[in-house]
């Protein structure tokens, strides 16, 4: 499906196809709006919109659909697309005040969760990893490590991954706090005005909040040219948590499960990234981030919830 057709469905007449402004999915800027793929089917896209309106009405700076004469979102084939306003502002640059504000925003969002999935968001259910998957991914990661001669302890990663597979059933049954959240909470999804503005909430789902935090810990700086090419330092992580804890208090169970949660999210969101993206390994800044993530995983006692 070409971009011109997609854009025209929202009432914007363009004569030529547009290039996506994001390399990993279709995102088109047309004047002062953004048109992008969102959740599908259409009923799920409307549930997302209800959730985003709830956040906005509660004081969260987050994009919500532009008011158009036609439908927004729309269903086109097997996909749904949505039109948001284009948000002007500064990008994330790793400043301490930005890190604290980002933590505050996530804490605020989590504090607005209904507790019973009022908006019908998709529920996280990825607790079915297998040892043979780990073996396959470790083999590929090891090839990249050898090719680019980076300082990653493959044997240690192998042990962590396999241990996480064994722990996932227990983690699934743990009495963790679940929240509705935009998920995929990363620096490249924020624009900074006086406070951060969330511009890509389309991965919203209901998930244990420590999983959402773990993803931010591991991948907050991923694919962001103006961010440091590494994870948070332990000091920066504490700044992020200080902001987050203005709105949230961790349970004893969450503190106990934290390292298992981080390792599980590593399995779900990072393992494939390390194993399958040849182009990422070719870039020095992304290799630096990968090394930093692997180092963090082996030093999780420096990244607590306390």
Same fold for the domain at 3-85 and the one at 96-302? no
Beta-carbon-side half-sphere exposure of residue 76 (alpha carbons within 13 Å): 21
Give the span between the Cα atoms of 256 and 234, in whole angstroms: 19
Q: Chain-wide mean pLDDT for the chain?
A: 95
Q: How far apart are alpha carbons 246 and 250 in whole angstroms?
A: 11
Cα gap 219→135, rounded to integer Å? 23
- Cβ-based burial of 148 (10 A; exposed 0-12, middle 13-18, buried ≥19): middle
DSSP 40-74: SSHHHHHHHHHHHHHHHHTT--B------SS-SSE
- Strand boundaries in 188-267, DSSP class E: 190-192, 196-198, 205-208
Angle at 36 between CA 231 and CA 185, to 5 degrees: 25
pLDDT score recorded for residue 196: 97
Half-sphere exposure at residue 112, Cβ-oriented, CA atoms within 13 angstroms: 19
Q: Where are the domains of the chain?
A: 3-85, 96-302
- The alpha carbon dihedral of 263, 203, 2, 29 has a sign of negative
Which pLDDT does position 22 carry in this prediction?
A: 84
Class of domain 3-85: alpha beta
Q: Give 140-193 pLDDT, tens digit per residue.
A: 999 999 999 999 999 999 999 999 999 999 999 999 999 999 999 999 999 998
The pLDDT of residue 263: 96
Q: Report pLDDT for 8.
A: 92
| Topology at the third CATH level for domain 96-302 | Aminoglycoside 3'-phosphotransferase; Chain: A, domain 2 (3.90.1200)
The structure tokens listed for 188 are 């490249």
User: Count H helices, E strands: the chain?
Assistant: 11, 8
The pLDDT of residue 15: 78
What are the average pLDDT values for consecutive 10-residue runs of the chain, which has 306 residues? 89 85 88 96 97 97 95 95 97 97 98 93 96 95 95 94 94 96 96 94 97 98 95 98 97 96 95 88 94 95 93
pLDDT at position 23: 78
């Amino acid at each position: 499906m070409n971009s011109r057709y997609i854009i025209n469905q929202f009432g914007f007449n363009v004569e030529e196809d547009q290039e996506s402004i994001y390399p990993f999915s279709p995102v088109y800027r047309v004047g002062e709006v953004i048109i992008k793929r969102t959740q599908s089917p259409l009923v799920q896209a409307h549930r997302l919109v209800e959730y985003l309106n709830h956040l906005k009405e509660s004081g969260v700076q987050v994009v919500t659909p532009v008011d158009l004469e036609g439908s927004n979102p729309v269903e086109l084939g097997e996909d749904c697309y949505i039109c948001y306003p284009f948000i002007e502002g500064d990008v994330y640059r790793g400043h301490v005040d930005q890190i604290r504000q980002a933590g505050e925003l996530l804490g605020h969002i989590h504090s607005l969760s209904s507790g019973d999935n009022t908006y019908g968001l998709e529920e996280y259910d990825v607790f079915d990893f297998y040892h043979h998957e780990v073996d396959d991914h470790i083999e590929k990661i090891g090839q990249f490590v050898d090719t680019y001669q980076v300082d990653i302890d493959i044997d240690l990663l192998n042990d962590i991954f396999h241990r996480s597979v064994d722990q996932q059933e227990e983690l699934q049954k743990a009495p963790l706090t679940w929240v509705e959240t935009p998920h995929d909470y990363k620096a490249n999804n924020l624009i900074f005005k006086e406070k951060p503005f969330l511009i890509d909430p389309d991965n919203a789902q209901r998930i244990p909040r420590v999983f959402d935090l773990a993803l931010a810990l591991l991948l907050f700086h991923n694919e962001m040219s103006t961010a440091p090419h590494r994870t948070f330092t332990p000091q920066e992580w504490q700044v992020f948590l200080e902001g987050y804890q203005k709105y949230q208090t961790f349970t004893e169970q969450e503190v106990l499960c934290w390292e298992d949660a981080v390792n599980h999210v590593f399995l779900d969101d990072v393992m494939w990234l390390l194993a399958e993206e040849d182009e990422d390994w070719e870039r020095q800044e992304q290799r630096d981030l990968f090394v930093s993530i692997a180092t963090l995983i082996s030093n999780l006692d420096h990244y607590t919830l306390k």
